[in-house]
Amino acid sequence: MELDERKRKILYAIIQNYQETGEPVGSRTISKYLDVKLSPATIRNEMSDLEEMGLIVQPHTSAGRIPTDKGYRLYVDSLLENEKKQLPAETNREGDLLIRKVDRLEEMLLQMAKILAANTNYATVITGPQYKRNKLKFIQLSPMKDGKLLVVVVTEGNIVKNNILHVGCEMSREELLSLNLLLNSNLNGLTIEEINLDIITKMKEEAGEHSDIVNRVLDAVADSIRGEEKVRYYTSGAPNIFKYPELTGGDTASRLISTLEEKEPLGDIVFQPKAEGAGGDGDRHDIQVYIGEEVPVEAMKDCSVVTATYSLSEGVQGRIGIIGPKRMDYEKVVDTLKSTMSQLDDIFDNGEDKKS
């Protein structure tokens, strides 16, 4: 929708004022926001036109107006278009330091959810990484007591998974060294889908009396990767919902809290295909904004959701979502997400941990 400059400034002033106050915005308030001198009568006429265009609405008999989903959509699309032209956002150094102190991926994602919720004052959801055609980097068999083996599986993105096998016998260092060499020389750089019957048969023949262990190690490798097909959700900031009166009326807040606690419905948000008109910044982090009725979860139709994709390596990706009122500070949320993406890029260096 094309708007002339004056209507656009008035619409944006209404949106920005409503973001701050949550109260309908009148012509006198708008006149204080604008960088040009316009009479209240002129502003009222322009507001009337904006209302006819479906971009703002008068919620009750007061003179004030609030943005509609359509108005927010026009504003957000313009914001994302401008974001593409700007330099990358600076990272949040405090959050960056907190994240860098965490070694395990799961703990890092939970910490990141808390940081995002604190920085935005909205609710946050982050999914654990999904492994699509993820390649094996390294397998390590180490002895344990009572006839057990520790199987350490490292995949692209330096994702580490541990498994314990009960083999029923003690193995010598030479036997383990031989098995480690056999596994890594045959499997490094392959995806689960590429480990075919020929490879398995060859490895079992070379393993001789330890062929059963090779078979069980392969099962452990498959379980390590496929176990991640069940999405993990890390949430934070649910109490922030109570800061916004429009989300606390009736049973709105309780339904939102229940959805965040149940977590499974959140998959409909973070894995939602791009809806028509949902907007996006067009970069590899695929920042998308869903407003009101565009949100695919019924309990969140009074909300807006901004999502982005993080990537640990090729084929290893997850999603981040920020959930707030429709009057959320979209510019701040988008900048915060871009900053978070920059942190992750820096930490994983496009799939490889940086060496300090």
**pLDDT (mean) for 56-66:** 84
Looking at residue 87, what is its pLDDT? Answer: 47
Of 330, 336, 339, 283, the residue nearest 303 (C-alpha):
330
Amino acid at 243: K
Per-position DSSP letters for 300-329, written without gaps between them: GTTEEEEEEEEEEETTEEEEEEEEEETT--
Q: What residues contact residue 187 under an 8 Å CB cut-off, 6+ apart?
A: 136, 139, 195, 199, 221
Q: How far apart are CA 288 and CA 330, in angstroms?
A: 11
Place of tokens 């808390």: 114
| pLDDT tens per residue across span 255-294 | 999 998 888 788 887 766 554 545 555 556 788 999 999 9
Per-position DSSP letters for 201-255, written without gaps between them: HHHHHHHGGGHHHHHHHHHHHHHHHHGGGS--EEEE-GGGGGG-GGGTSTTHHHH
Long-range contacts, 178-183 (Cβ 8 Å, 24+): 179/141, 179/207, 179/210, 179/213, 179/214, 179/217, 180/139, 180/140, 180/141, 182/206, 182/207, 182/214, 183/139, 183/141, 183/214, 183/217
CB 340 within 8 A of CB 322: no
Q: Does 348 have pLDDT greater than 70? A: no
Q: Does 229 have pLDDT greater than 70? A: no
Amino acid at 278: A
| pLDDT tens per residue across span 315-338 | 567 889 999 999 999 999 999 998
Q: Does 102 have pLDDT greater than 70? A: no
Of 293, 299, 294, the residue nearest 254 (C-alpha):
299
| pLDDT tens per residue across span 138-166 | 899 988 888 888 889 887 767 788 888 88
Q: At CA 306, angle to CA 106 and CA 341, rounded to 5?
A: 50
Per-position DSSP letters for 112-159, written without gaps between them: HHHHHHHHHSSEEEEEPPEESSPBEEEEEEEEETTTEEEEEEEETTTE
Residue 78: φ, ψ to 5°: -65, -40
* Tokens linked to 163: 């498994």
Of 272, 269, 307, 281, the residue nearest 77 (C-alpha):
281
Residue 134: φ, ψ to 5°: -80, 135
**DSSP category for residue 339:** H
CB 129 within 8 A of CB 105: yes
| pLDDT tens per residue across span 188-206 | 888 777 888 888 889 989 9
| pLDDT tens per residue across span 11-22 | 999 999 999 999
Looking at residue 101, what is its pLDDT? Answer: 40
Q: Does 31 have pLDDT greater than 90? A: no
The helix/strand/coil state of 14 is helix
Q: Does 236 have pLDDT greater than 70? A: yes
